[in-house]
Amino acid sequence: MAKQGVVKVATCQFAVGANVRRNGSQIVRQIEQAKRQRADVVHFSETALTGYAGTDYKSWEGFDWDAVTVETERIQQVARTKKVWVILGSAHRLTEPNQPHNSQYVIDPEGRIVERYDKRFCTGQDLRHYSCGDHLSTFTINGIKCGLLICYDVRFPELYRAYKKLDVQLIFQSFYNARKLSATILTEIMKPTTRARAATNYFWISANNSSGYYQCWSSFLTQPDGVVVKSLPRHRAGVMVNTVDTTKSFYDSSARFRDQAMKGVLQSGTPVKDPRSRNRKHL
């Protein structure tokens, strides 16, 4: 029986593309590879199954939704056979004329879809192809409460604070910062931003990315002090299995005052009542 508070996370990347069946086959291979490394949960990047609308294809016209159904059911069967959790980046079809959601499906070791997160903050480009979501999503593995986020959500610290209020310990955040012509500003800022979100809120974060060239940054796992445990090489498919142990303690300089800050008390002591404190225009 797995130790409570401990989970082996497989953070995966491959070159996501427009071909749903090819994406699905790569996902199945990586689930099998992760299971051989004794992973409990296998985490895939944003739109790993469907490809990313606006990048891998221009519109939803003629999109093969039947293939999405077939491949999703195949992935569910593999999850059931291998007895692993799967966090699957995909798109969730809505009633026309509504655009689909950019989603993560949570598939349990019985092969059931037990939760779905829909990307809440879509970029301007995203909104041409996707409908934004409106909820947080949580689930529990081995006693660890987990949450889900997607790509551009990283720019909004309010989402992380909302998960912190729900006592989430591990975030699975799926990205697609790939198929660029060269390095972009995301190459410089995405890992530090994600690490800061982890350290500010004391989260473990599995952050993965499509590896299609040019991949702005490679998939990684960060622990609650913001230190990167391990990263995959850029521009190649890979599976990285790491142990998330929430029973261990890490450096957390915010711990003493985080709760009161989240309640709107934005200083660490009691403000003094002193006219020299109130007068901010004189020495």
> Tell me, what's the pLDDT at 48?
98
Phi first, then psi: what are they for 250, rounded to 5°?
A: -130, 165
CATH number at residue 152: 3.60.110.10
Q: Is residue 263 part of a domain?
A: no
> Tell me, what's the pLDDT at 5?
97
Q: Using CA atoms, how far apart are residues 99 and 108, in angstroms rounded to an integer?
A: 27
Q: Is residue 139 part of a domain?
A: yes
> Tell me, what's the pLDDT at 91?
98
Q: Is residue 69 part of a domain?
A: yes
Q: Is residue 145 part of a domain?
A: yes
Report the SS3 class of residue 78.
Answer: helix
Whether 246 contacts 169, CB under 8 Å:
yes
Average confidence (pLDDT) per 10 residues, the chain, 283 residues:
89 98 98 98 98 96 97 98 98 97 98 98 97 98 98 98 98 97 96 98 98 98 98 98 98 96 94 95 94
> Tell me, what's the pLDDT at 222?
98
> Tell me, what's the pLDDT at 2?
72
How many domains is the chain built from? 1
Q: Is residue 129 part of a domain?
A: yes
Q: Is residue 255 part of a domain?
A: no
**Domain of residue 94, residue span:** 6-248
DSSP, res 183 = -
Q: Using CA atoms, how far apart are residues 87 and 266, in angstroms rounded to an integer?
A: 36
Which residues neighbour 144 within 8 Å (Cβ) at sequence distance 6 or greater? 5, 6, 7, 169, 170, 244, 246
Closest CA to 195 of 251, 125, 239: 251
Q: Is residue 280 part of a domain?
A: no
Q: Is residue 124 part of a domain?
A: yes
> Tell me, what's the pLDDT at 1?
52
Closest CA to 113 of 143, 76, 144, 139: 76
For the entire predicted model, the pTM comes to: 0.96
Whether 150 contacts 117, CB under 8 Å:
yes
| 153 half-sphere exposure, CB direction, 13 A CA radius | 30
Closest CA to 143 of 225, 230, 239, 40: 40
Closest CA to 159 of 136, 125, 175: 136
> Tell me, what's the pLDDT at 211?
98
Q: How far is CA 105 from CA 119, 139, 256, in A?
A: 11, 11, 35
